[in-house]
C-alpha cells in the first residue's frame, strides 16, 4: 500500500485513495498543501506536479476565469471558496456551483476544453496552487490517480450543480440561504462568513431585499448573526433544520469528495 492506493485481491483497480493529513505535503516553497485532490495522489504523481504548482494568494472577488475566455490556469484551493456563476445577457447572475479545498477550479481542462462556461470568482478569500493549463494536460496524460480523482470530483460536482438547479427553482429563499451558508461553512471550517447581502443576492439569483428578509428570518430564530459584510453561524444544527432537503442530498456528495 502506498498513500492508501491498496490493490484488493481479486480486483483489477485500486480502491479510493485515502487522503494524507492536511499539511503532510508541501509545495515547492515549503508551504503546506491542504487541497484534498493533491493529498490523495501517490507520491510519484504529486512529485510530477510539484514543480509546476505555483502558490497564489486569492483575494475575495478575484476572477479566476471568465466564460468563453481561455482558462490559463487550473487552481487547487488550500483555503477559501470559489463560486461558479452563470451570467445572463441582461447582467443577472446565479451561482451554479462552489469549489473549495475538495476539488479543482478549471474542470473543463480535464477533457481538453480550454474555455469555460461559467465565471469562476473567489467568494471567500484564501490561497492555493495554480498550474498552467498546458502543464496540467501533460500531467494528465500519465497520472492515472489524478485523472481518477478529477473524474470523481467532476461527477460529484455535476450532481451538485443539478441539485442546486432544482433547489433554486423549488425552494423558498430562506431555505436556500440556510442551505447555502451551510455549504460555505463546510468548505471554510469557520462560523464567520465574510459575505454581503448584495453578493448573496447575486449568488442566489434574487434581489437584495429578498436576501435581507431571509437573513432576518434566520437571525430572529437565533441561527445566525448579521453584521456589516459578515454573517456568523450561531446554531449549526438549527440552520440544518431550517435548510431545504437539498442540503442533506449535497452532504452525500460532500462525503464522496472528502468533506464532512
pLDDT digits (tens, 9 = 90+) for 17-35: 567 777 789 999 999 999 9
- Separation of alpha carbons 128 and 66, rounded Å: 19
* Per-residue model confidence (pLDDT) at position 20: 78
Q: Is the pLDDT of residue 4 over 50?
A: no
What integer pLDDT is reported at residue 254 of this predicted model?
66
Could you tell me the pLDDT band of residue 2, with boundaries at 50, 70 and 90? Answer: very low
Residues 164-203 have pLDDT tens digits of: 888 878 889 999 999 989 988 988 888 999 988 888 887 7
Name the 3-class secondary structure at 67. Answer: strand
State the Cα–Cα distance between residues 6 and 4, nearest whole angstrom: 6
Other Cβ atoms within 10 Å of 24 Cβ, number: 12
pTM value is 0.84
192/111 Cα distance (integer angstroms): 36
Comma-separated ranges of CATH 1.10.10.10 domains in the chain: 172-243
CATH 2.60.120.10, the chain: domain bounds: 36-165
Backbone angles phi, psi at 256, to 5 degrees: -70, -15
What is the CATH number that goes with domain 172-243?
1.10.10.10
Grid cell 500500500 in the structure block, residue: 1
Dihedral pair phi/psi, residue 17, rounded to 5°: -60, 145
Read off the pLDDT band of 5 (50, 70, 90): very low
Three cell numbers at 45? Answer: 504523481
| DSSP H/E element including 84 | strand 73-87
* Burial environment of residue 80 by CB neighbours within 10 A (0 to 12, 13 to 18, 19 or more): buried
Structure confidence by residue, pLDDT tens digits, 132-155: 999 999 999 999 999 999 999 988
Q: If you ran DSSP here, which 8-state letter would residue 44 be given?
A: H
**Is pLDDT at 259 greater than 80 in this prediction?**
no
Q: For helices 173-188 and 246-256, what crossing angle results, to 10°?
A: 20
Residue 6, pLDDT > 70, answer no
Using a pLDDT cut of 90, give the percent of the chain over it: 57
Name the fold adopted by 36-165: Jelly Rolls (2.60.120)
- pLDDT-derived band at 256, boundaries 50, 70, 90: low
Rounded Cα distance between 260 and 258, Å, is: 7
How does DSSP classify residue 152? H
Check residue 40 and give its pLDDT: 94
Contact present, 54 and 130 (Cβ < 8 Å): yes
Mean pLDDT of 91-107: 88
Is residue 16 very low, low, confident or very high in pLDDT (cuts 50, 70, 90)? Answer: low
Residue 1 has pLDDT above 60, yes or no: no
pLDDT above 60 for 53: yes
Distances (CA, A) of 214 to 17, 133, 240: 41, 40, 15
Tens digit of each residue's pLDDT (9 = 90 or more) over 196-211: 888 888 778 788 899 8
What is the structure's pLDDT at 170? Answer: 85
Amino acid at each position: 500500500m502506498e498513500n492508501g492506493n491498496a490493490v484488493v485481491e481479486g480486483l483489477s483497480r485500486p480502491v479510493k485513495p485515502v487522503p494524507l493529513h492536511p499539511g503532510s505535503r508541501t509545495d515547492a516553497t515549503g508551504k503546506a498543501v491542504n487541497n484534498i485532490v493533491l493529498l490523495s495522489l501517490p507520491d510519484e504523481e504529486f512529485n510530477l506536479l510539484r514543480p509546476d504548482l505555483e502558490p497564489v494568494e486569492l483575494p475575495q472577488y478575484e476572477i479566476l476565469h471568465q466564460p468563453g475566455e481561455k482558462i490559463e490556469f487550473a487552481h487547487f484551493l488550500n483555503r477559501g471558496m470559489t463560486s461558479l456563476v452563470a451570467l445572463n445577457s441582461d447582467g443577472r447572475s446565479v451561482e451554479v456551483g462552489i469549489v473549495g479545498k475538495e476539488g479543482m477550479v478549471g474542470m473543463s481542462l480535464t477533457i481538453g476544453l480550454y474555455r469555460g462556461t461559467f465565471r469562476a470568482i473567489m467568494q471567500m478569500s484564501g490561497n492555493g496552487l495554480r498550474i498552467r493549463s498546458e502543464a496540467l494536460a501533460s500531467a494528465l496524460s500519465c497520472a492515472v490517480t489524478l485523472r481518477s480523482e478529477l473524474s470523481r470530483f467532476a461527477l460529484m460536482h455535476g450532481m451538485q450543480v443539478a441539485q442546486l438547479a432544482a433547489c433554486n427553482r423549488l425552494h423558498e429563499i430562506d431555505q436556500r440561504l440556510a442551505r447555502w451558508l451551510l455549504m460555505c461553512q463546510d468548505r471554510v471550517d469557520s462560523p464567520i462568513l465574510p459575505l454581503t447581502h448584495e453578493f448573496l443576492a447575486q449568488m442566489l439569483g434574487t434581489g437584495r431585499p429578498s436576501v435581507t428578509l431571509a437573513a432576518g428570518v434566520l437571525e430572529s430564530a437565533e441561527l445566525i448573526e448579521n453584521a456589516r459584510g459578515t454573517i456568523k453561524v450561531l446554531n449549526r444544527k438549527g440552520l440544518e433544520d431550517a435548510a431545504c432537503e437539498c442540503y442533506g442530498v449535497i452532504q452525500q456528495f460532500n462525503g464522496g469528495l472528502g468533506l464532512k
